[in-house]
Structure 1
């Protein structure tokens, strides 16, 4: 089984967050669409904050 590199471990949550944003934007008139936008933004921001905090602790 191939190991997940540092790049892939950051790429996967960002791509999932972008997919949630696009799905949510398509259904922005309903509550699940708005919720999808929220989860997508939180996933992207959480990934960025995690990476910044990891660099600051080095």
Structure 2
């Protein structure tokens, strides 16, 4: 290998390792923060009555 190839290989490997470290730190941080989140409390929702207009029906003979 020439000196130029050696520098290029070292530069590429350094960038690759730096990117992998940054990605690993980000993913680890995301999982850590998501594990701290607590689910919301269960709340019983009562059934809501619907407002309608009703008409009384009378049979006709």
Q: TM-score range by the shorter chain?
A: 0.3 to 0.5
Q: Which has the larger radius of gyration?
A: 2
Q: Which has the higher contact order (CA 8 A, sep 6+)?
A: 1
The normalised TM-score by structure 2 is 0.45
Identify the structure with the greater helix proportion.
1
